[in-house]
Amino acid sequence: MIERRRLVLVLASLAGALAVAVVAATFLGSARLSPGEVLAVLTGRADASGTESVVIWGVRLPRIAAAALAGGALAVAGAGFQALTRNPLAEPSVLGVSSGAALGVVVAQLMGPAGGVTDALRLTVFGFAGAVTAGVVVYLIAATGAGLPVQTLLLAGVIVGMFFAAAITVVTSLVDINRLGGIVHWLLGNVSAIPPRALAVFAMLGMVGFWLIAGQARQLNVLALGEEAALQLGVNAERLKLRVFVGSALLTACVVAFAGPIGFVGLIVPHSLRMVVGPDHRLLVPAALVGGAIFLLVADTLARNVVAPAELSVGVLTSLCGAPFFIYLLRTRYRGGL
């Protein structure tokens, strides 16, 4: 069928673009390595314990993997929340879900260091609890008998986000001053190289979240007609919404656990892709996974190169792009309310 062929085509082109981005990111960095040195390391001709090898294998490639995973997960979570609320401005950070996850992760960080597999699980579980709490609170504030009005939902998200941010400040003020710097750095939204085992845990949890959303893509299309119409077409709307909410919250929690609350990726990527592949979630959700990976990888590569040898937080960069993007969408598409 046409749709299946389109999906393959879209994913193949995006995968090609991702490969280009990965290669570019491998060659770029504040440690000035020549292309020849990078190639020598990649082909195994360089000294395995030399600086070049450590930079490539120990720093750049793990960071590339972490950035790609975080970007893909956030973009899919954004697409999930947008389908769930039928609100194109919904996104983990706008809905306050990221802040909820961040509070959970901060609490988990106080309980011990990060790094191992069990630490990764603990951070994600606490982050997930925070994300679900924030999501449920936002829903309860915004829900009316007739649905989720756009403005109320956004306001509820902002307010809940502010509340959780304040709660994070309270918790961090209890922290030992020596660890405070790390937590503040993480709160800005930073991708850093994390141990491969921990990364594998996050990737697997992320795949569960992705599957909960992508597996329901056809039903999500039907849900766009409204809940009653979806029920009348045979969609179990309650179960669908629960799965997509759990999936989106899990993806958000995963990313927040290792990269902090990086904002607006879930807004920018699905919107840009919708212009290319259209609104069909069977194309959009898989495309968001790869497109989000490209976006955050490029953003992170910029963040660690533009002010080298210093570094920008990638979360700062995405917010600098995302806030104007949000305003643009608000002004052009939703002027006068929806």
Q: Contact between 3 and another protein (CB under 8 A)? A: yes
Structural contact between residues 256 and 93, judged by C-beta atoms closer than 8 angstroms: no
Q: Contact between 33 and another protein (CB under 8 A)? A: no
Which distant-in-sequence residues (6+ apart) come within 8 Å of 286 by Cβ?
7, 10, 11, 214
For another protein, give the closer residue by CB, 78 or 88.
88
Of 219, 252, 318, 319, the one binding another protein (CB under 8 A) is 219
In the complex, the smallest distance separating the C-beta of residue 250 from another protein, rounded to whole angstroms, is 21
Binding-site residue total for another protein (CB under 8 A)?
27
Q: Contact between 233 and another protein (CB under 8 A)? A: yes
CA distances from residue 169 to 6, 99, 162, 260, 268 in whole angstroms, order as listed: 47, 11, 11, 15, 28
The piece of 13-21, 65-73, 96-104, 272-280 that touches another protein (CB under 8 A) is 272-280
Of 44, 234, 336, 337, the one binding another protein (CB under 8 A) is 234
Which distant-in-sequence residues (6+ apart) come within 8 Å of 78 by Cβ?
90, 91, 92, 265, 266, 267, 269, 270, 288
Q: Contact between 63 and another protein (CB under 8 A)? A: no
Written as one string, the DSSP assignment of 137-191 is: HHHHHH-BTTB--HHHHHHHHHHHHHHHHHHHHHHHTTS-HHHHHHHHHHHT---
Q: Contact between 324 and another protein (CB under 8 A)? A: no
In the complex, the smallest distance separating the C-beta of residue 16 from another protein, rounded to whole angstroms, is 23
Structural contact between residues 277 and 338, judged by C-beta atoms closer than 8 angstroms: no
In the complex, the smallest distance separating the C-beta of residue 216 from another protein, rounded to whole angstroms, is 10
User: How far does Cα 254 stand from its chain's mean position?
Assistant: 8
For another protein, give the closer residue by CB, 220 or 299.
220
**Which residue carries 């069977």 as its tokens?**
282
Mask of contacts with another protein, 87-116, x by CB under 8 A? -x----------------------------
The angle formed by the CA atoms of residues 168, 172 and 175, to the nearest 5 degrees, is 155
Mask of contacts with another protein, 115-134, x by CB under 8 A? --------------------
DSSP 8-class letter at 312 = -
In the complex, the smallest distance separating the C-beta of residue 57 from another protein, rounded to whole angstroms, is 38
Q: Contact between 280 and another protein (CB under 8 A)? A: yes
The angle formed by the CA atoms of residues 50, 52 and 53, to the nearest 5 degrees, is 70
Q: What is the CA radius of gyration of the chain?
A: 20
Q: Contact between 47 and another protein (CB under 8 A)? A: no
Q: Contact between 15 and another protein (CB under 8 A)? A: no
Burial 111-121 (b: 16+ CB within 10 A, else e): eeebeeeebbb
Of 23, 180, 208, 225, the one binding another protein (CB under 8 A) is 225
Q: Contact between 221 and another protein (CB under 8 A)? A: yes
Q: Contact between 182 and another protein (CB under 8 A)? A: no
The footprint of another protein (CB under 8 A) covers: 1, 3-4, 86, 88, 217-219, 221-222, 224-226, 228-229, 231-236, 274, 278-280, 282, 338
